[in-house]
Structure 1
Amino acid sequence: MVAAVAAAGDLDRAEAAARDIRPGRSVKALAAVVNAAAAAGDVDRAEAIARSVTSPREQAQLLAAAARSTAAAGDLDRARPLADAAEAVARGITWQFAQMWMQAEVAEALSVVGDLARAEAIACGITGPEVRMQALAALAVVDADHSRHLAEAAAATALDITGSMLDVHALTRAFEKIAIAAGIDRADVLARRISDPNRRETALIGVVEAAVAARELSRAEALARSLTNSYHWPPVLTVVVEATAAVGEFDRAEAIAVNGRNQDDQTRMLAAAAKAIAAVGDRDRTRVLVDAVENAARNVTNPHRRTGMLTLIAEAAATVGDLDRAEAIVNGIDDPEQQAQALAAVAAVAGDPHSTRRLITDAEAAAGRVTELYGKARALVAVVEAATAAGELDRAEAIARGITEPDERARVLTGVVEAAAAGELDRAEAVARGITEPEEQAQALAMLAETASPARAGHLFGHALAVGSWSALLPAMARRYPQVVVKIIDELYEHPE
C-alpha cells in the first residue's frame, strides 16, 4: 500500500503511513518511499527520510537504497555521498551478524555508484566467510577490471566456511558467478579445492549451470560427469541433455543420455531428450526415442520414476502430433492419480481442441478413481490447470468446483478467473463470485478490478470489500486508486479509533 501511494507521488502521506507501521517492520515501507523520492529527483527528501531512522542497521539500509535509486536515476554525483553515508553508519552496527549483511549491501551500493575499489575493500573486510563469499562473487560479475581477482577471492573464502549451517544454494550461486567472472576452467579448479565432498559438488553444480548458460555444453557434460553424489549428477546431467537437444545437437544429446551410470538414469535422460527434441520439431527422431524409452521403462522398478518417464515421452509424442501413441503410453500407467496427471500433461500439449477435450474427460475420469482425499485433489488440480491452459474455461470451472480441498479449489478457480479476464470479463466475474472462500473471492475480484474500466473497477472493489478483509485489499486498491487509499489513510489518522 505504501509503495503504491509513493509511486502515485504523494510522498507525504506515504511517509506518514510508513512511519505508523509497527517498529521493526516499517523499514520496507520507508524504503519504498525513499526509492520513490530518489527516482523522482528529490534526493534531499530520500536522504532526510533515511537519516530520520534511529536504528543504525535500518538507517544504513535506507541510505544504501537511496544511493542505488539515485544512481539508477542517473545522478551519480548525489548517489556517491549517500553510499558513503551508508558505509559510515554500517560501521556503528554492534550486532555482528547484522553488520555483515549490511556491509554486503553497502558494497553493492558502492559498486552501483562506481566506487568499485571501496566496494571490494568492504567486501573483503566482512568477517563471516559465507557472507564475504557472496559479496565478492557478486562484485566479480560487475567489476570487469578485477573480475578474476574477485572471483579468486570469493573461491578462497569458500574454503574458510566451517560448520553445518552453510546455505548450499548460496554456494551454488556464488560459484556460478565465479565461473562467469573467471571462466569455466578456472572455476572448476577453484571448486575442486573445497575438501568437503558434498560442498565441492554443490559448488561444481554452479559451474555446470554457468557452462550451460554460456552454451559450453561439452564442458558442462564433463563437469556433470565428474559429480559422484547420486542425488547430484542425474538431474544436473539431465539439464545438459536438455540444453544439448534444444540447440539441435540431437546425436550428442542421445549419446550423453545413453552413457548414464545406470539403466534407470539413462532412461530418464532419454525421456528428457525426447521431450526437448519434440519441442524443436523433429518428429522422426522423437518417435524413435519414444519407442526406446517405453521399452526401457518396463524394466524400471520404481513406480514413480517409471511414471515420470512415461509422462515425458507421452508429452513428447503429443507434441509432434502422435496423440494415439501418447494416449496408449499414458493408459499403461496403473496408478489413477498419476494417470490423471499424465493425461492432463498430454492434454496441455495436444493442440487439437477436440483431442484436448477428450483427454481432459479421460483425466477427470482417472481422477475420479482416486480414493485418497488429497490424492484426488492433486489429480483434479492438474486436470483443471490443463483445461484452463487450453482455454476450456467452462470445463475447468466445473471440475474445480468438485475439488473438496478448499484452498486448492480456490487457487485453481482464481487461475480460471485470471484466464477468463483476458477476454471474458463477465465470465471471469461470475467465476470469482462463485468462489466460496471469502478472502479468496475478494482477492479474485480485486485482481479483476485492477484492469477493468473505472466504473466496473469500483463495482468489483465494492463487492470485494463486502466479503473480504479491507486491509488485505488495500494494496490492489492503491495500485488502481491511490488517491482513494490516501483518503483512507487520512481518515485513519483523524479517527484512529
Structure 2
Amino acid sequence: MAAENGSEPVRGVPDAAARLFTDAERLARSITREYSQGLALTELAETVAAADPDRAECIARSITDESRKAWTLSGVATAVAATDPGRAARLLADAERVVESVTGEDEKAWAFGCLATAVAAADPDRAERIARSITDEIRKARALYDIAQAVAAADPGRGERIARSVTDESLKAMALGGVAGAVAAADPGCAARLFADAEGVARSVPGEDEQAWSLARVAERAAAADPGRAERIARSVTDKFWKAWALRIVAAAVAAADPGRAARLLADAERIARSVNDEVEQTWVLSDIAATVTAADPERAARLLADAERIARSNADQHVQGPALRHVAKAVAAADPGRAERIARSITDEYWKTAALIAVGRVTAAANPYQAATSEGYHI
C-alpha cells in the first residue's frame, strides 16, 4: 500500500534520485486535474520502470484515465522487455484489454497507437496489424512511424516500406530519416537515398512552421551519418527556433571529430537563439547549447544557463515559466544537481514542478548509475 501512494523510496537508483522520484510521485498524486495527473504519472512510471518495475507497474495501474493507463502499461512493458519478457507480455495483454474497454473513438485510437508502438520490436507483424486497424489517420500515421523506427535496423526493407506508407508528410519525412540513420553504417548508399527522399518530403510539407519542424527533425536524423547534409538542411530552416535547435544537434554530432566546426555551429546556434521571441523556445535552445558545451567550456555553460533561467523567470505566466524552468533544471542537473533541484522546486505549477523533479532525477540517476539506493532493483 505504501508504494501505491508514493511513500516508499523508488528502488534501484541512487539515493538522491530515489528521493526526487518519490517526491515527484507524491506531488503528482496531489494534482487535481485528471489529465495532468495521468501525464505526470506516465512520465514517472516510464522513467523508473527499468530500475523498479514493480513500482512502475503499480503507478501505471493506479492511473484512472483508461486510455492513459493503457499507454503507461505499454510504456512500462517496453522498458522491461529485455530483462523481463514475461512481465512485458503480461503488461501488454493487460494494456490491450484496457484499450478494448475505452469508449471514446479518439481515446481508443490514441491508446491503440501506443499499444502498436510497444509491441513493435517484439512482434512487428502484430504491431503493424494494430496500427493499420486504427481509423484516425493521424494516430495511424504516428503508430506506423514508431513501428518503422523499431524495425529499421533488423529489417530495413520493411522499415522503408512502412515509412513510405505513412500518410502524414511530416511524420513520413521523419520516418524515412530514421530508417536512413538505422542503415547508414551498413549501407551508406541506401542511407543517402533515404535521407534525400526524407528531405524532399519535408520540403513539400505545407505551412512554414510545420515545414521548419520537419526539416529540423530530418537534420537531427542525418547529423551522425551525414553531418554535411544535416548542416545544409539546418541552415535552410526559416524558423529561428528550429534552425538554432538543429544547428545545436549537428554541432553535438561533429564535436569529437571536428571541434572547430562544432564551435562555429554552436556560436551560430546561440546567436540565432538569442533572437527567438518565445521565452520557452529561447530557454530550451540556450539550455541545450549549455548542456552541449558544459564539458569543454563550463564558464560559458554557466552563463548560458543563468541567461536561460533569467529569461524563464521573466514571464510570470506559469504556462510559460513552468516548462521553461523545467528545461533549465534538466540542463543544470548534470553539473549542479543541487541547483537543479532548487529550480525544480521553485516552480509553482504542480504538473511542471513534478515533471522537473522527474527530469532532474533521471539525470541524477544516469550520472551515478552504481551509487544505488540500498533496496533491490535494476540500475538505470
Instruction: Report the TM-score range of the alignment, normalised by the length of the smaller protein.
Output: 0.5 to 0.7
Distance in 1 between the 2:113 and 2:218 partners? 26
Aligned twin of 1:205: 113
When residues 169 and 374 of structure 1 are mapped into structure 2, their CA distance, relative to the original with a 3 A threshold, is closer
When residues 205 and 410 of structure 1 are mapped into structure 2, their CA distance, relative to the original with a 3 A threshold, is closer
Residue type of the partner of 2:274?
G
Please, which runs of 5 or more residues in structure 2 have no aligned partner? 12-57, 78-86, 314-323, 347-370, 372-380
Tell me the SS of whatever aligns to 1:405.
helix
Aligned twin of 2:33: none
Distance in 2 between the 1:182 and 1:293 partners? 35
Which of 181, 188, 197 is the equivalent residue of 1:292?
Answer: 197
Aligned twin of 2:300: 395
1:372 to partner: Cα distance: 4.3
When residues 370 and 225 of structure 1 are mapped into structure 2, their CA distance, relative to the original with a 3 A threshold, is same
When residues 297 and 396 of structure 1 are mapped into structure 2, their CA distance, relative to the original with a 3 A threshold, is same
1:328 to partner: Cα distance: 1.0
Distance in 1 between the 2:289 and 2:228 partners? 19
Residue type of the partner of 1:180?
A
Aligned twin of 1:168: 67
When residues 369 and 230 of structure 1 are mapped into structure 2, their CA distance, relative to the original with a 3 A threshold, is same
State whether residues 151 and 159 of structure 2, in contact with CA within 8 Å, keep that contact through their aligned partners in structure 1: yes
When residues 228 and 418 of structure 1 are mapped into structure 2, their CA distance, relative to the original with a 3 A threshold, is same
Distance in 1 between the 2:329 and 2:6 partners? 32
Residue type of the partner of 2:249?
A
When residues 306 and 282 of structure 1 are mapped into structure 2, their CA distance, relative to the original with a 3 A threshold, is farther
When residues 255 and 416 of structure 1 are mapped into structure 2, their CA distance, relative to the original with a 3 A threshold, is same
Distance in 2 between the 1:413 and 1:166 partners? 29
Aligned twin of 1:225: 132
Residue type of the partner of 1:346?
V
Tell me the SS of whatever aligns to 2:201.
helix
1:252 to partner: Cα distance: 1.1
Across the two proteins, how many residue pairs are aligned to each other?
A: 272
Residue type of the partner of 2:234?
V
Q: Which has the higher contact order (CA 8 A, sep 6+)?
A: 2
Aligned twin of 2:233: 329
Aligned twin of 1:272: 178
Distance in 1 between the 2:235 and 2:126 partners? 39
Aligned twin of 2:263: 357
Which of 90, 103, 113 is the equivalent residue of 1:181?
Answer: 90
CA RMSD of aligned residues (A): 4.3
User: Structure 1 stretches (4+) deviating beyond 6 angstroms?
Assistant: 175-179, 186-190
Tell me the SS of whatever aligns to 1:235.
helix
State whether residues 124 and 151 of structure 2, in contact with CA within 8 Å, keep that contact through their aligned partners in structure 1: yes
Aligned twin of 2:49: none
1:323 to partner: Cα distance: 2.5
When residues 225 and 358 of structure 1 are mapped into structure 2, their CA distance, relative to the original with a 3 A threshold, is same
Distance in 2 between the 1:413 and 1:172 partners? 26
TM-score normalised by structure 1 residue count:
0.46
Written as runs of structure 1 = structure 2, the 5 A alignment for 1:404-443 is 404-405=310-311, 412=328, 415=331, 418-419=334-335, 439-440=342-343
When residues 383 and 28 of structure 1 are mapped into structure 2, their CA distance, relative to the original with a 3 A threshold, is closer
Q: Identity rate of aligned residues, in percent?
A: 24
Aligned twin of 1:255: 161
Distance in 2 between the 1:254 and 1:271 partners? 10
Written as runs of structure 1 = structure 2, the 5 A alignment for 1:8-47 is none
TM-score normalised by structure 2 residue count:
0.58
Distance in 1 between the 2:150 and 2:297 partners? 32
**Per-residue deviation, residues 120-161 of structure 1 (Å, max 9, x unmatched):** xxxxxxxxxxx9x959xxxxxxxxxxxxxxxxxxxxxxxxxx
**Per-residue deviation, residues 292-351 of structure 1 (Å, max 9, x unmatched):** 12122221113333223222322233202x322221111111111221111112222224
Distance in 1 between the 2:282 and 2:215 partners? 20
Tell me the SS of whatever aligns to 1:370.
coil
1:267 to partner: Cα distance: 2.4
Aligned twin of 2:20: none
When residues 226 and 179 of structure 1 are mapped into structure 2, their CA distance, relative to the original with a 3 A threshold, is farther
Distance in 2 between the 1:375 and 1:182 partners? 36
Distance in 1 between the 2:311 and 2:300 partners? 18
Residue type of the partner of 1:201?
A
Distance in 1 between the 2:298 and 2:266 partners? 12
When residues 417 and 284 of structure 1 are mapped into structure 2, their CA distance, relative to the original with a 3 A threshold, is same
Distance in 2 between the 1:188 and 1:338 partners? 37
1:438 to partner: Cα distance: 12
- 1:370 equivalent in alignment to 2:269: no
**Per-residue deviation, residues 386-437 of structure 1 (Å, max 9, x unmatched):** 323x644333223333333255589748845734xxxxxxxx79xx8xx8x9
Residue type of the partner of 1:331?
R
State whether residues 67 and 107 of structure 2, in contact with CA within 8 Å, keep that contact through their aligned partners in structure 1: yes
